Structure 1
Amino acid sequence: MGVILWTAIAGFSGSLPLAYWIGRWALGVDIRRYGDGNPGAMNVKRAGGWRWFIPALLLEFLKGAIPIWLARSMGGLSGWALFPMAMAAPLGHARSPWLGGKGGKAIAVTFGVWSGLTEWRIPMLMGGLFALALRLAPPEGRAVRIGMLILSGLLIGASGIGWAHPSLAATSIGHTLLLIWTHRRR
């Protein structure tokens, strides 16, 4: 399968509003009526508690991780070939056609994409950066923006000295811009 097909699969997977559907089908509510109005896992927690939050978060994560992992393992893709897929999943989530072009903030799916790209390495770093930024510069939206800007700087530097493939730096820049946009009101 080519890059175009894998990118379409990643975009389709990312567009599936799984947390929203858990709210609809399992809880019988529109989770966008809770918290920040987002159709993501955190509003599943607000609507239904931890029991439903954990599966919602896991599914949102997996819809980013699985297509990338499959493209790497089955499709044999790497480097720049993964860039469009890495962008398609969170973009699909942020602009879900299932929700009339209105999606979520794309944090869990972005973590999933990075897990598909780098296993645990970058998601662990992202989590640490987000936690530190949230502690030093709340609220969540600002912390996400700061964490992603730092991650992009680190990956640009790492690719400049040969420690990371340049496609990872480009992906981090793309994800930074997307998360700045999805968190613009936070």
Structure 2
Amino acid sequence: MIALWTLATYLISSVPFSLLLGWFIIGNDIRHYGDGNPGATNLYRATGSRFWYVIAVCLDGAKGLFPVGIAYWIIGIQDWGIVPIALAAIAGHAFSIYLGFKGGKAVAVTGGTWIGLTLFEMPLVIGAMLSYWYRSMEESNWVTVIMMLYMLVYLLITRPDNGPFLLIWLGNFLIVLYRHRQGLNTVPTIKRWLPLLPKDLPKEGI
């Protein structure tokens, strides 16, 4: 059952919703925009619509939320069997079988997967860290990596003995790291430490 659920999760998560929405909305391939990824951010770049961007993010998150949440909370797979299922959700988005094993950067599906595992506990950590670091740092790829590290710290504090969750985090981190690798070749730049440094605070004397 775990093997079948893992396969089904991967096939579901491989569906490139943002790409399909792009064809539906503008009749064009969103991979021709931005960084060439078939994700929600490029859908926004292609359409300029915040509405469709939010829809795409929700659909990508749902690819992790429903397969993983149903397996964990309803079927009751809360042991090591949940590991391949959760990672299949993330890997499906990042390495879609329908796109020649290419895909998006797996941020939204990461949030959805952890909602499926922890309800709103871990997504609150993800949301808070993304909100803080997007305002404080120039490079979005580094923001995602730092967010993942904060997730690990939170897991070590709240669930130090939960081997399946820690292994899911490790696989999740490696996938995110790989998908963001091209944007990690620059040294991260801190714009300001919020809320300690207001936007108009002079640099002299700091």
* Equivalent position of 1:29 in the other structure: 28
The Cα shift of 1:157 comes to: 3.8
How far apart in 2 are the matches of 1:22 and 1:81?
33
Task: Report if aligned partners of 1:96, 1:102 keep a CA contact under 8 Å in 2.
Answer: yes
Q: Note if 1:130 corresponds to 2:130.
A: yes
* Equivalent position of 1:120 in the other structure: 120
Deviates more, 1:106-115 or 1:70-79: 70-79
Q: Note if 1:19 corresponds to 2:35.
A: no
- TM-score normalised according to structure 2 size: 0.82
Query: Which protein shows a greater Rg?
Result: 2
Task: Report if aligned partners of 1:134, 1:143 keep a CA contact under 8 Å in 2.
Answer: yes
* Equivalent position of 1:144 in the other structure: 144
Match of 1:167 among 155, 158, 164: 164
Task: Report if aligned partners of 2:155, 2:166 keep a CA contact under 8 Å in 1.
Answer: yes
Task: Report if aligned partners of 1:72, 1:78 keep a CA contact under 8 Å in 2.
Answer: yes
Letter in 1 for 2:64: G
Deviates more, 1:136-145 or 1:67-76: 67-76
The Cα shift of 1:73 comes to: 4.0
- What SS does the corresponding residue of 1:25 show, helix, strand or coil? helix
Letter in 1 for 2:65: A
* Equivalent position of 2:5 in the other structure: 6
* Equivalent position of 1:45 in the other structure: 44
- TM-score normalised according to structure 1 size: 0.91
The Cα shift of 1:45 comes to: 1.1
How far apart in 1 are the matches of 2:172 and 2:72?
19
How far apart in 2 are the matches of 1:149 and 1:117?
18
How far apart in 1 are the matches of 2:178 and 2:152?
16
Task: Report if aligned partners of 2:60, 2:108 keep a CA contact under 8 Å in 1.
Answer: yes
Q: Give unmatched runs, 5+ long, in structure 1.
A: none
How far apart in 1 are the matches of 2:79 and 2:134?
31
Q: Note if 1:109 corresponds to 2:109.
A: yes
Say what the alpha-carbon RMSD is for the aligned residues: 1.5
Letter in 2 for 1:146: I
Residues 79-132 of structure 1: CA deviation (Å, up to 9, x unaligned): 322111110111111111211111110111111101111111101101112222
- What SS does the corresponding residue of 2:159 show, helix, strand or coil? helix
Q: Give unmatched runs, 5+ long, in structure 2.
A: 184-206
- What SS does the corresponding residue of 1:16 show, helix, strand or coil? coil
How far apart in 2 are the matches of 1:111 and 1:102?
20
- What SS does the corresponding residue of 2:9 show, helix, strand or coil? helix
* Larger helix fraction of residues: 1
Q: Percent identity?
A: 35
Task: Report if aligned partners of 1:19, 1:56 keep a CA contact under 8 Å in 2.
Answer: yes
